[in-house]
A and B are shown apart, each in its own frame.
Chain A
Amino acid sequence: MRTLPILCMSLFTFSASAAGFLDFRDESFRKEDLKEKKWIFNMGVDYMQYPTSLPAYDGTHANIKNEENYNIFGVNLGVGREFALGAGISTTLKTGGFYNKSFERNVGKASEDIDMDLANIRTDHMVYGGEASASLNYLVENKVLNFQPFLEFGLGAGVADVEKEYTFEGIEADRSDAEKYNVSAQEGFNYTKTSLGVNFISQQGVVSYIKATRMLMDVNQREIAGAINGEAQDSKEENLDENKEILSGSVGFGFLF
């Protein structure tokens, strides 16, 4: 699992770079502005477990399931405006997007003593989309760093492109046992999401955040192209009503202005 190191490294990197970051924002941001309405910009890194649907295949060195979760990483951007409601409570309306791209490669070598690649498995994911969200925040003020727990609701739409390739060269002299799976899938989806997180806000309006998200996806379209051992797998499904649940985590930074 790479999630934890990523979270730690991001937060560490953030704290190390915050001073330089201030060069780019409005120096006139005042402590009192924390309680007023203000713009917010944020960006961060995402981790999600994406449920991938592909034609199942049981090969000599690969077992591809009809649906399988893959770890995907990417970036997100958001911009919005925060409105104070009083007593430290505020609401933020935001629009944003995300772009996640990950790959996995596995090379199957013949053996420890025989340096020959016999099998290869490659999985590429690209998931991207846009969303609008609203959150309810509560500001806890401190001398150095303010905390702002928040609950966020969002709606969005996205596209997922998946490519899966598996080849086995075969070990029979005539290669009659060779296998090849090469399928790509594209699916479109709408989603709603609920996030729970915390903003850490400095007196200068610099924000770092961490949040966990549960997305409910409604996959409405899926197109599959490719072949398994020479047998075409092309298909297109429209008006699907397939529901999936995705859990994701994000860390990042932003600023108020």
Chain B
Amino acid sequence: MKSFIGSLALLTLVSCGKNTEEFLYNEHHRDWQLVQARAAKDCKENSKIFKAFKHRSDFSKYFNQESYYKVKVVKENGAKYNDFIKVQINGKSNMTISYFDTDRESESLSVEFTASLNNALVAAISNGVCDHRKTFQYGHSDLDRSDYLNFSDVRKEGDDSNYKQVTDDFKAVVSYPLALIYWNRSIKTYNKSSGSSETNTYSIEAFSKEKCASDAKCKQTDWRFGSAQMIVDPQAHDSQDLDSVIMELN
């Protein structure tokens, strides 16, 4: 009896509701561009991950006065080594990022990173991630996470039979200054005509001052290097040119 009444009640509950889903627009609809723009706006304004990065433009509130990071470098030629980064907070909206290139392949440098650069970088990333035009959209991980974001900027030059493609896979970690994505990425270059490809990978992890002091290479540096300028292009996603990158150091 109980099982029967239970079955009947369940049957009634199951049968009394209907949930459906439909797609309202497609690329042939006259309002398609409006829909894309609306979706992009919603994505930029409401995604948790972008809100988190924007909040962290108040550097002194969210980051330690002084912090260290280790950059693991793996190059296509087989070279593997660690570089180091020191971040010094100079106030609410300014920080100095010092990059110590232990391999000495390139110059160690010091970069000023500001709150406005932080916001420009958030805009550059969100413009690419939230662009719903297939050619220009960055591949990305879940935007409703508030701890990290993986995104891919794929650029391509040439025709289908002879092209060069660069794939930049970035990892932006919310607890690190956003500028550090410059050294938390994998860059893959593929040349169709020669069939050759090259991948160089940089990955960051937090490192303490004490660990730096006990690391043979990290402790060598006095962290005073030649200065470089960070340039952010919020519209970089809008072009497939190989040079159209979201950030550069000059």
Contact = CB atoms under 8 A, between A and B. Distances in A.
Given A21-B4, A114-B39, A171-B31, A105 B12 contact: no
Contact of B18 (A21, A104, A113, A252): A104
A10 B1 contact: no
Contacts of A86: none
B163 interface: no
A209 interface: no
Contacts of B4: 13-14, 16-18, 20-21, 253
Contacts of B42: 116
B106 interface: no
Given A20-B1, A106-B19, A109-B24, 11 more contacts: A17-B7, A24-B1, A71-B18, A73-B15, A102-B18, A107-B20, A108-B21, A110-B38, A111-B26, A113-B134, A173-B41
Interface string A93-107: 000000011111111
A119 B23 CA distance: 10
Given A13-B7, A21-B4, A61 B24 contact: yes
A159 interface: no
Chain B interface residue number, banded:
20 to 34
A210 to B, nearest CB: 14
Contacts of B132: 113-114
B163 to A, nearest CB: 25
A13 B8 contact: yes
Interface in B2-60: 2-4, 7-9, 11-12, 15-27, 31, 34-39, 41-43
Interface residues of A, number: 47
Given A110-B23, A173-B38, A103 B7 contact: no
Contact of B23 (A73, A109, A169, A173): A109
Nearest to B40: A114
A109 B18 CA distance: 17
Top 6 closest pairs, chain A to chain B, by CB: A17-B4, A13-B7, A73-B16, A171-B34, A21-B1, A102-B16
A198 B15 CA distance: 23
Given A102-B16, A116-B42, A108 B8 contact: no
Contacts of A2: 15
B1 to A, nearest CB: 4
Contacts of B3: 16-17, 20
B234 to A, nearest CB: 18
Contact of B24 (A104, A119, A172): A119
Contacts of A43: 8
Interface string A42-64: 01110000000000000001000
